[in-house]
Structure 1
Amino acid sequence: MSRKIAIGDIHGGLKALIQLLRRADITPEDEIIFLGDYVDGWSDSANVVSYLIELAKQNTCIFIRGNHDDLAHRWLKTGELNEQWLQHGGQSSMDAYRNFTSEEKKTHIEFFDQMMNYYIDKQNRLFVHAGFTNLHGPLSEYHNTGYYWDRTLWEMVIALDPAMQKSNKYYPKRLQLFEEIFIGHTPVTRIGESTPFHKAGVWNIDTGAAFKGKLSAIEVNTKEIWQSDPIHELYPNENGRN
């Protein structure tokens, strides 16, 4: 039976991704939704992209665009350098591409070009890297950057009173639009969690792989969870984005 599996922010941790896919016992029948931020952090950023390109040849894969992917894409395509990007993992991606040929980089640029800002499945579940701000939903968003930079959706979820019911007229409209929302972008380790966190119909799958956390996956229907080892243990001579 095929499964639908969502995977959180990878940040160049190819060793963790391979380990995670093995632990989840991925087969070609499984659909995999990647929630973005494939690069910037550990030394395998470029290799992660190469691996995902090959994985998509045997599995149905959906690649959501993350903010780090957007910045790396701009650099690859136009040479645009963002100083904050360099300080927050961008240098590791530049280093990772140092020995890649122009043809390999071209293939990767095409991969970045084809990423989706968000995905809504037939069960009305939204998959997006960060969030959206428009009360009518992501289709009505004025600027694409919100999909991979917004943190207000997550902040609203964290601040929401658990006792508030959807029938309450003040219940956030954004949280009434979908059956469930799956995001990454903001590590749940910031609120003291180490596994995918669920509240108000929102699942945050970013478990801090860019830092000292694990890479996580969740089966969307059954909510079974798999995790890698802490990524810093797989890259003992590196610091990630610490």
Structure 2
Amino acid sequence: MKRTLVFGDIHGGLKALIQLLEKIDYSKNDRFIFLGDYVDGWSESKQLIDFLIELSQKQECIFIKGNHDAWCQEWLENDVVNDIWFLHGGKSTIESYKGIDSSHKEKHLEFFNEMKDYFVDENNNLFIHAGFSSMHGPEKEHYKTNYSWDRTLWEMALTMDERIQKDSLLYPKRLLLFNEIYIGHTPTLHYNVEIPMQGCNVWNIDTGAGFYGKLSCIDIESKEFWQSDVLQTLYPNEKGRNK
């Protein structure tokens, strides 16, 4: 049976992804969807991209682009360090890329360029890094940066009054566009929650792997989920994105 398995933000934590894949007991029939932010945080960003490229040659994989990936891509293309990026995990990514040759760099750039802004599956489920603001859907989004930065979708879904039914004129139009929506970007740790969260039909799979949380993966049909160990225990001599 084919499963769709969705992964939250990884932030350079290759050890966590390897551990998680061992727990999932996946088959070649399964489809993997990664919600972005592969880099910036733990020390293996470059190694993680290598691993994902190799994984995609054996498994059906869909890679969504996150805001950290956009920063890293810009650096790889122009060799210009964004100051904000550097302070929010870019430093560890730059260090992981030391010694990379030009052909290897081009291979990574191709990978970044092929990432999707969002993906809609055959059952009208949306997979996007952060969100969108247009009531007509992400394809009508005026500010494309919202794909990797918007938090209003999640905040709205999380605070919706459960008494408002879908057939109500008050129900947000954005939430009616899709069966379910899967996002990352906003760590559930912000709400003192360590597992994937649901607000209306929006599922947040970012359980803080870039900080002091775990990497998570969810089966969108059964809602069964799996988690790695806390990333700090896998990288005991590092701080991740903690300040």
TM interval, short-chain normalised: over 0.9
Asked whether the equivalents of residues 19 and 228 of structure 2 are also in contact (C-alpha less than 8 Å), the reply is yes
Which has the higher mean CA deviation after the structures are superposed, 165-174 or 59-68?
165-174
Q: What residue is the counterpart of 2:73 in the other structure?
A: 73
Asked whether the equivalents of residues 158 and 198 of structure 2 are also in contact (C-alpha less than 8 Å), the reply is no
Q: What residue is the counterpart of 2:144 in the other structure?
A: 144
Does 2:56 correspond to 1:63? no
What TM-score, normalized by structure 2, do the two folds share?
A: 0.98
What is the CA-CA distance between 1:143 and the residue it aligns to? 2.5
Which has the higher mean CA deviation after the structures are superposed, 167-176 or 115-124?
167-176
Asked whether the equivalents of residues 151 and 186 of structure 2 are also in contact (C-alpha less than 8 Å), the reply is yes
What pairs with 1:1-242 in structure 2 (closer than 5 Å)?
A: 1-242=1-242
Provide the aligned length of Structure 1 versus Structure 2.
242
Q: In 2, Cα distance between the equivalents of 1:107 and 1:151?
A: 31
Q: In 1, Cα distance between the equivalents of 2:19 and 2:77?
A: 31
Amino acid at match of 2:10: I
Q: In 2, Cα distance between the equivalents of 1:162 and 1:49?
A: 40
User: CA offsets per residue over residues 26-54 of structure 1, 9 Å max, x none?
Assistant: 22221100000000000000111000000
Amino acid at match of 2:97: Y
What is the CA-CA distance between 1:62 and the residue it aligns to? 0.1
Q: In 1, Cα distance between the equivalents of 2:47 and 2:104?
A: 11
Secondary structure in 2 matching 1:119 = strand
What is the CA-CA distance between 1:13 and the residue it aligns to? 0.1
Which has the higher mean CA deviation after the structures are superposed, 35-44 or 101-110?
101-110
User: CA offsets per residue over residues 180-217 of structure 1, 9 Å max, x none?
Assistant: 00000000110111110012000000000000100000
Secondary structure in 2 matching 1:171 = coil
Asked whether the equivalents of residues 17 and 228 of structure 2 are also in contact (C-alpha less than 8 Å), the reply is yes
User: CA offsets per residue over residues 156-179 of structure 1, 9 Å max, x none?
Assistant: 112222222112211111111100
Secondary structure in 2 matching 1:211 = coil
Q: In 2, Cα distance between the equivalents of 1:213 and 1:101?
A: 33
What is the CA-CA distance between 1:119 and the residue it aligns to? 0.2
Secondary structure in 1 matching 2:169 = coil
Q: In 2, Cα distance between the equivalents of 1:66 and 1:118?
A: 10
Q: In 1, Cα distance between the equivalents of 2:51 and 2:208?
A: 21
Secondary structure in 1 matching 2:126 = strand
Q: Unmatched 5+ residue regions in structure 1?
A: none
User: CA offsets per residue over residues 100-131 of structure 1, 9 Å max, x none?
Assistant: 22211110000000000000001000000000
Q: Identity percentage over the alignment? A: 52
Q: In 2, Cα distance between the equivalents of 1:151 and 1:82?
A: 22
- List, as ranges, runs of 4+ consecutive aligned residues in structure 1 with deviation greater than 3 Å: none
Q: Unmatched 5+ residue regions in structure 2?
A: none
User: CA offsets per residue over residues 77-96 of structure 1, 9 Å max, x none?
Assistant: 11232111110001111011
Q: In 2, Cα distance between the equivalents of 1:167 and 1:93?
A: 47
